[in-house]
Amino acid sequence: MALSIEQVIEFQTNGYLIAEDVFIEEDLQPVIEEIERFIDERAQAYYKEGRITELYRNEPFERRFALLYEQCPDINRKFDIMHLLGPAMFRFLTNGRLLDVVECLLGSELSCNPIQHLRSKMPWKGEGEQAVSMDNVPWHQDAAVTSENSEASEIITFWLPLVDATKETGCMEIIPHSFKGGYLKHQAEGGTTIVKELLPSIRPITAECRKGGIVIMNKYTPHRGTSNRSDHVRWSLDLRYHKTGAPSGRDFHPSFVARSRSNPDSVLTDYEEWRRLWRDALSRPSQKAHRV
């Protein structure tokens, strides 16, 4: 079993679990190399257009994007799973070690949920907390970014860092236990966030997680990202899975069967099809994705 019974109980009791050492280097490296290729492509294009003057070709994965971003923050626009649509990322969504963990919590009929992101949290040298953005999110429950028709769906978040996520690089802060109270009202001001008066007054934990681990969260678990005070990018993926057949919370974006013990042929293995589904979905007028 990928998670022990004690870990499953911990998740069910606290509404989160930090599972260390799930992945080996060979699981994450193809994804990282693919991201590096996308960075390089973008850097070359920006260089040709004169939007950056230095390519920083020899800088490592942890540093290069931050140095490019300093020259032109636009380089980070739409640098996300559904826009990049790389084959290594697609394969990772059905990674055996990942799905073994997911199966411990959701059973053996699993769909990959379309609410999924690649985040590059940039270094922050300013006063106080980094401004709220896609890469620095305020207190929220993930249920707030799903539609109300998915209320009964168990949609579980699997957040995994591609570099060590520490207090310094910015990790998540999580409020334990309070998921049992269900959905809390959110507001749009300040970036989809729990209405201040409703934020549970339970002391948050700092969810540090080394590369190779996963932070797993219930969709009602309040959490936020903290600023990156290091000099490198805090790269992470946040993926979600739900039981096949249950509403995904984002009907207008593609879910796909990632594992099925009852009907293994239903698993999507065709990368081109995955890409087509996303391109199709994104070519349609965008719809309201958050509840507020």
Ligand X SMILES: O=C(O)CCC(=O)C(=O)O
Total residues at the site for ligand X (CB under 6 A)? 11
Q: Which residue, 235 or 278, has its beta carbon nearer to ligand X? A: 235
Nearest approach, Cβ of residue 49 and ligand X (Å): 29
Given the complex with ligand X, which of 99 and 156 has the nearer CB atom? 156
Q: Does residue number 157 form part of the binding site for ligand X (CB under 6 A)?
A: yes
Nearest in space to 66 (alpha carbons), one of 285, 257, 207, 235: 235
State the minimum distance, in angstroms, from the CB of residue 262 to ligand X: 30
Neighbours of 247 (CB within 10 A): 17
> CA neighbours within 13 Å on the CB side: how many for 153?
25
The one among 162, 172, 174, 209 contacting ligand X by CB under 6 A: 172
d(CA 214, CA 26): 16
Is 223 near ligand X (CB under 6 A)?
yes
Instruction: Give counts: helices (H), strands (E), the chain.
Output: 7, 11
Nearer to ligand X, 52 or 224 (CB): 224
- Counting contacts by CB under 6 A, is residue 225 touching ligand X? yes
How far is Cα 55 from Cα 69, in angstroms, rounded to an integer? 11
Q: Is 186 in the site for ligand X (CB under 6 A)?
A: no
Q: Whose CB is nearest to ligand X? A: 225
Taking CB under 6 A as the rule, does residue 236 contact ligand X?
yes
Tokens for 8? Answer: 């499953």
| Strand-strand pairing, 205-207 and 172-174 | antiparallel
Binding test (CB under 6 A) with ligand X, winner from 64, 119, 250, 253: 119
Residues 6 or more apart whose CB falls under 8 angstroms from that of 48 comprise none
Pick 7 or 120: Cβ nearer ligand X? 120
Q: Which one of residues 43, 137, 156, 174 is an interface residue with ligand X (CB under 6 A)?
A: 137
Strands lying side by side in the sheet with 16-19: 16-19, 214-217, 155-161, 234-243, 109-121, 256-260
Q: Under 8 Å CB-to-CB from 187, ≥6 apart: which residues?
A: 193, 194, 195, 292
- Site track for ligand X across 78-117, x = CB under 6 A: ----------------------------------------
Cβ-in-10-Å burial (0-12, 13-18, 19+) of 179 comes to buried
208 contributes a contact to ligand X by CB under 6 A: no
Paired strand residues for 119? 236
Please say which residue, 1 or 188, places its beta carbon nearer to ligand X: 188
Question: Least Å distance between CB 137 and ligand X?
Answer: 4
Nearer to ligand X, 111 or 157 (CB): 157
Q: Is 159 in the site for ligand X (CB under 6 A)?
A: yes
What is the contact surface with ligand X in residues (CB under 6 A)?
119, 121, 137, 142, 157, 159, 172, 223, 225, 236, 238
